[in-house]
């Protein structure tokens, strides 16, 4: 989040008094007034002369900026991927951070990992898995720690940790019930509790809260995960949860931009569409995302949602320059990390190859790609695009700096 400083200059006008010489012929006046010395005076006080202002010193580079300067292109591109431990290592189920993880990180030192129920088998096992992965990531490449993420929205549907039964942590009803109270303090309680126990276990990124406005009551993909159908209510709930979670040190990620609440389909299985007009989407679906951005949310997840009456480019938002750069960056002013929804979903895999999808996302202005169907192909595809000039090195640097800045914000970059 960047602020610009506006300075004001005051202008000082200097004036003098001129004699008109109307009494120049008067003897009395001549006897009183001394002769005028035309020699210019030299000041005995040089400090009163106008001295050019010294330019303000350049600000010291941030830790994120200093880290970026030391990285190779390969390390930079790797930072832009967040994957499951299985996709990283090739293991069928990953529950430990061992030699396979170390070897894989030596090849592609990814920027983050996301964990699901199959990765959580014991309380100490989860802590060891996360701390071990963190150590191996720091030992690989440029020594950069990873995002360690999980889907922990709360409620009965998406709560990997709370539903595991491995930890004595608070549980919550579905967010629809939280929203029905009309009290943002309840959403703040969710953010504080979830953020606290995730951080204690070893996670640092939560793919929550859900910022979708449930405008289609037949929407089963979102349903009770949403705080409700009133955009202002959802905005207040999302803002409260984001602020509270940030206070715990866990980074929240709002989802699924530009809004999954009106869709009838499920992007897990194929393309989905939001048929609403631009005016409807801007006034309704965008309200919670605006509130989250204003609350300082460092991540926004872009969904695989086509908007034929808005972007009208025939692309899911996760590949759309209109939605990512023009709208989310430009219109909404978001300066944090734009991450995709899973690129293993049918909405992507049925229409785009792994390399093609990855290249399109970064060309559109996105920052971090979540769960590519084939990590090796996607990673190599982006490297090839940079070397061919279809993605500039500057475009990569912009995204890597946002990723590193978020890690610095979380206090994990050292």
Which pLDDT value is given to residue 57? 80
CA distance 41 to 101: 80
The residues facing 273 across adjacent strands are 306
Q: Ramachandran region of residue 160, left (φ > 0), alpha (ψ -120 to 50) or beta?
A: alpha
Which pLDDT value is given to residue 48? 52
Query: Is 267 in contact with 347 (CB distance < 8 Å)?
Result: yes
Pairing mode of beta strands 152-154, 158-159:
antiparallel
The question of whether 341 is a catalytic residue gets the answer: yes
Alpha-carbon Rg for the chain, nearest whole angstrom, is: 29
Which pLDDT value is given to residue 58? 81
For tokens 């449930």, what's the residue? 214
Pairing mode of beta strands 305-306, 272-273:
parallel
For tokens 């009208």, what's the residue? 312
The question of whether 2 is a catalytic residue gets the answer: no
**Catalytic member of 206, 210, 341, 374:** 341
Consecutive 10-residue runs of the chain (414 residues): their mean pLDDT? Answer: 34 34 35 44 51 79 96 98 98 97 97 98 98 97 93 97 97 98 98 98 98 92 96 98 98 97 73 91 98 98 96 96 98 98 95 97 98 98 98 98 97 92
> Residue 337 belongs to what H/E stretch?
strand 337-340
Beta strands of 90-143 (E only): which ranges? 112-115
CA distance 207 to 160: 11
CA distance 103 to 106: 5
Which pLDDT value is given to residue 137? 97
Which pLDDT value is given to residue 84? 98
Structure tokens at 408: 């610095």
Dihedral Cα 74, 80, 85, 91, nearest 10 deg: -50
DSSP helix/strand/coil, 186: helix
**Catalytic member of 268, 326, 356, 397:** 268
CA distance 228 to 209: 13
Which pLDDT value is given to residue 41? 46
Number of other residues whose CB lies within 10 A of the CB of residue 195: 26
First to last CA, the chain: 20
């Amino acid at each position: 989040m960047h602020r610009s400083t506006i300075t004001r200059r005051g202008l000082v006008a200097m004036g003098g008094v001129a004699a008109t010489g109307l009494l120049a012929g008067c003897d009395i006046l001549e006897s009183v007034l001394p002769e005028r010395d035309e020699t210019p005076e030299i000041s005995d006080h040089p400090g009163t002369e106008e001295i050019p202002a010294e330019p303000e010193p350049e600000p010291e580079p941030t830790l994120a900026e200093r880290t970026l300067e030391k990285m190779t292109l390969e390390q930079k591109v790797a930072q832009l991927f967040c994957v499951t431990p299985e996709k990283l290592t090739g293991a069928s189920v990953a529950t430990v951070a061992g030699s396979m993880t170390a070897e894989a990180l030596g090849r592609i030192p990814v920027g983050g990992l996301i964990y699901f129920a199959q990765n959580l088998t014991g309380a100490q096992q989860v802590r060891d898995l996360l701390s071990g992965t963190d150590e191996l990531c720091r030992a690989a490449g440029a020594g950069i720690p990873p995002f360690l993420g999980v889907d922990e929205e709360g409620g009965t549907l998406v709560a990997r940790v709370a539903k595991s039964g491995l930890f004595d942590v608070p549980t919550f009803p579905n967010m629809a019930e939280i929203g029905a109270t009309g009290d943002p303090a309840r959403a703040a309680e969710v953010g504080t509790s979830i953020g606290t126990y995730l951080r204690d276990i070893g996670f640092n990124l939560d793919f929550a809260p859900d910022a979708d406005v449930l405008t289609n009551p037949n929407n089963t993909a979102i349903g009770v995960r949403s705080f409700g159908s009133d955009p202002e209510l959802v905005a207040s709930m999302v803002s409260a949860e984001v602020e509270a979670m940030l206070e715990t040190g866990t980074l929240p990620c709002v989802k699924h931009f530009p809004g999954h609440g009106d869709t009838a389909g499920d992007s897990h299985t194929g393309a989905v569409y939001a048929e609403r007009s631009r005016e409807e989407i801007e006034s309704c679906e965008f309200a919670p995302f605006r509130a989250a951005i204003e609350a300082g949310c460092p991540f926004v997840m872009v969904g695989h949602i086509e908007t034929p009456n808005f972007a009208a480019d025939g692309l899911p938002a996760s590949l759309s320059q209109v939605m990512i750069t023009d709208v989310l960056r430009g219109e909404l002013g978001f300066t944090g990390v734009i991450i995709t929804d899973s690129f293993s979903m049918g909405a992507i895999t049925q229409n785009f190859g792994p390399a093609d999808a990855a290249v399109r996302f970064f060309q559109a202005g996105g920052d971090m790609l979540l769960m590519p169907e084939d990590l090796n192909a996607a990673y190599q595809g982006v490297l090839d695009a940079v070397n061919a000039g279809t993605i500039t090195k500057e475009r990569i640097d912009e995204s890597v700096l946002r990723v590193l800045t978020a890690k610095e914000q979380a206090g994990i970059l050292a």
